[in-house]
Amino acid sequence: MLPKFNRIMNLWSLSLQNIKSKPLYTFLSVLILSLSIALLLGIQQLKRSFKNQLENNLGNIDLVVGAKGSPLQLVLASVLHLDNPTGNILYKEALKLSKNPMIKSAVPISYGDNYKGFRIVGTTNTFTALYNAELEKGHNVEKSMQVVLGNAVALKLNIKIGDTLLSSHGLIENNIEIHQESFTVVGVLKPTQKVIDRLILTNLESVWEVHHHEEEEHDHLEHHHEKEITSLLINFKNPRGLLTFPRRINKQTNMQAALPKYELHKLYEYTSIGFQTISLIAYLILVISCITIFISLYKMVKERAFDLAILRTYGASNFQLIKMIFYEGFIVVFSSFLLGFLLLKIVLYSVFYFMESIDHQNILKALSLNDVLETGFLILTMVIVSVSLAIYPIIKMNISIILSNEK
């Protein structure tokens, strides 16, 4: 066992000596390959994080009902809270829909104001159940002009229970249209890493009161049945509701029904073009790095043909020489993978740590072992092909001709 171990160690030692003898080639090979590995793994991690964030924010929402317009805009506005709403719908019409026996829960939401850029959403206390959110401290909204803060809002603005705040009109922070009615903070939610962390929740009456305060003072009863909401978030008892309910709303009412999963899947497919482009660039860099490794090893084999021939005369077999070349390739791949993985972690965690310090949300999804193994297997395969081509001169080596030419 010991002589065999010594032979293996000698081959590893010779491979390391070869690498040290050409530092520039080795440096370029490792640098380009590690860059390719970092890009490939980085794209996979970003895709996984982006997709997870979209799916995570869906909560238990199967259907969104709102005003006619773009269904994607309706979903972005009502589910992800990223866009402007398509309009309003009558609250009494939404209440009629919510009584359908196929519906498990129907949560109305209404918004149009913000506090320092965070949206104030008027809804019911069942809204938190859509995201499985729980109170961290305080209590739920019990009467008008009370608010419960998402965890990121409370951390970002350093607001505590009992504090008051004045909302401004619109969905963008401004100091021009500030409402006079103040909200009182009565609760803070636990972090969920979902969109609810960035929302300020109140009841529907608060939103109506802020926007129609003067009108309601004069004729409260007359206008109560004309109250409006932005949209209705529906969760069905079973998937059968998805087959008929949206079609009926779109055909028989002046409202529209949008399927969040379908719309966000379209959005994901659209944005995937960017990911695919970067992935293509990463694959091109990978091919270039494999060509660099091939050229480096092939050049070494050709330039050191005499040394290799001498090794053969001292008893080394072709197989041992080939193993030496493979060890060299393995050292380059292992170093590159380690460097690429380290580079990826440093860059991504630095960027997302900075984002988390601003938004107080961690949206980075860890890479799965399968993703790492798939990328590693692909790179190893391509490097094995490169090394296999580089060892061709060893297979065709004629010791007598090489030694006679050298003399």
pLDDT at 277 over 80: yes
Between strands 63-67 and 118-123, the pairing is: unpaired
Residue 334 has pLDDT above 60, yes or no: yes
Contact call for residues 397 and 308 (beta carbons, < 8 A): yes
Give the model confidence (pLDDT) of 190-244 as tens digits. Answer: 998 889 999 999 999 988 888 765 455 555 544 445 788 999 999 998 888 888 8
DSSP-derived letter for residue 196 is G
What's residue 395's pLDDT?
A: 73
What does the pLDDT read at residue 219? 52
Contact between residue 62 and residue 75 where contact means Cβ atoms under 8 Å apart:
no
Secondary structure E strands in 227-331: 228-229, 231-236, 255-258
pLDDT higher for 330 or 400? 330
Average pLDDT value for residue range 119-133: 92
Query: What pLDDT is attached to residue 160?
Result: 87
Q: What angle do CA 246, 252, 256 make, to 5 degrees?
A: 45
End-to-end distance of the chain based on CA atoms, in angstroms?
A: 38
Of 14 and 204, more confident:
204
> Please, where are the H alpha helices in 22-117?
23-58, 71-75, 91-98
Q: Give the pLDDT mean for 312-334.
A: 81
Distance between CA atoms of residues 61 and 103, nearest Å: 11
pTM: 0.72
Q: What is the mean pLDDT of the chain?
A: 83
Q: What is the pLDDT of residues 377-394, one digit of tens each?
A: 888 888 788 888 887 777
Mean pLDDT of 104-116: 91
Contact between 322 and 389 (Cβ < 8 Å): no
Amino acid found at 195: V
pLDDT above 70 (res 356): no
What is the C-alpha to C-alpha distance for residues 45 and 121, in angstroms, rounded to an integer? 32
How high is the pLDDT of residue 299?
77
Share of the chain above pLDDT 70, in %: 90
State mean pLDDT over 86-103: 90
Q: What is the pLDDT of residues 31-40, one digit of tens each?
A: 888 888 888 8
> Which residues, listed in sequence order, are joined to residue 183 by a DSSP beta bridge?
165
Torsion angle (degrees, nearest 10) of CA 218, 222, 226, 227: 50
